[in-house]
C-alpha cells in the first residue's frame, strides 16, 4: 500500500469553512476529524500525476455514475468572476470511461457538455448545476447524491447505460474532434482580436 507521500490535504476544506454555511461547516469538521489522516488502500495506487489520467481504473470501469470533484469549482471570489466551466481530466475521464457524471465544479457544466454534443439527460435533478453561488451550488448537490445512493437510482440503470454508451462513442467521434477544433479556432480568433 502506498500513501499520500506529499502529505496533501483537500484544500477545498478551507473554502467550505469560509462560507459560514452550517451544513458545509459540518462536512468540513467531519473531514478534519474522520478523514484527514486516511490513506488510500486499494490493491495498487500509483501516486504520480500521470497515473491520475487512467480512465480505465476500476473507479470508472466498475461505476455507473461518478462525481467529478473538479480541480477548480469556484465561480467567483470576492469581486472576481472566473470563466468556466473548467474541465480537467476529472470530467473527461467520465466521458472516456463511459460513466454518467455529476459535476462538482463550476456552474453550467451540463450546458457546456451539451454544446460539445454530449447527452446529459440524466434522470436526477440538475438544478444544482445552474446555481451561480458556490456554497449554494455545493449544498444543492446533496439531494442528487442522496438520489444516487438511494434505491430509486437502480430503476434507471438501462437508461443511464444508454446515455453512457452514447457519450462514450461521441467523445471518440470525428464530430467531437471537429467541435473541439472549431472551439479552439474561435477562441484563438477572439484572443487575436483583443491582442
Enumerate the domain spans of the chain. 1-47, 51-194
Given a cut of 70, whether residue 58 has pLDDT beyond it is yes
Which residues in the chain belong to E strands, given as ranges?
Answer: 65-67, 76-77, 80-81, 100-102
Distance from C-alpha of 44 to C-alpha of 48, rounded to nearest angstrom: 12
Between CA 109 and CA 115 the distance in angstroms is 10
Cα separation, 68 vs 27, in Å, equals 18
* 151-191 confidence digits (pLDDT tens): 888 999 999 999 999 999 999 999 999 999 999 999 899 99
Please give the radius of gyration of the chain, using alpha carbons only, rounded to the nearest integer.
Answer: 18
> Is residue 42 very low, low, confident or very high in pLDDT (cuts 50, 70, 90)?
low
pLDDT bin (cut points 50, 70, 90) of residue 82 is: confident
Amino acid at each position: 500500500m502506498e500513501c499520500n507521500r506529499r502529505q496533501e490535504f483537500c484544500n477545498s476544506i478551507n473554502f467550505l469553512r469560509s462560507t459560514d454555511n452550517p451544513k458545509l461547516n459540518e462536512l468540513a469538521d467531519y473531514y478534519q476529524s474522520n478523514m484527514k489522516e486516511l490513506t488510500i488502500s486499494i490493491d495498487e495506487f500509483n501516486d504520480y500525476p500521470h497515473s491520475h489520467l487512467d480512465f480505465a481504473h476500476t473507479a470508472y470501469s466498475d461505476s455507473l455514475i461518478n462525481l467529478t470533484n473538479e480541480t477548480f469549482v469556484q465561480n467567483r471570489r470576492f469581486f472576481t468572476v472566473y470563466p468556466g466551466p473548467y474541465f480537467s481530466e476529472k470530467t473527461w475521464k467520465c466521458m472516456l470511461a463511459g460513466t454518467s457524471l455529476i459535476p462538482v465544479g463550476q456552474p453550467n457544466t451540463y450546458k457546456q457538455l451539451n454544446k460539445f454534443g454530449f447527452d446529459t439527460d440524466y434522470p436526477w435533478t440538475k438544478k444544482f448545476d445552474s446555481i451561480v453561488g458556490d456554497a449554494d451550488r455545493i449544498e444543492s448537490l446533496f439531494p442528487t447524491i442522496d438520489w444516487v445512493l438511494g434505491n430509486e437510482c437502480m430503476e434507471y440503470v438501462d437508461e443511464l447505460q444508454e446515455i453512457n454508451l452514447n457519450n462514450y462513442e461521441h467523445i471518440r467521434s470525428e464530430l467531437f474532434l471537429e467541435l473541439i477544433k472549431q472551439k479552439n479556432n474561435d477562441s484563438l480568433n477572439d484572443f487575436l482580436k483583443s491582442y
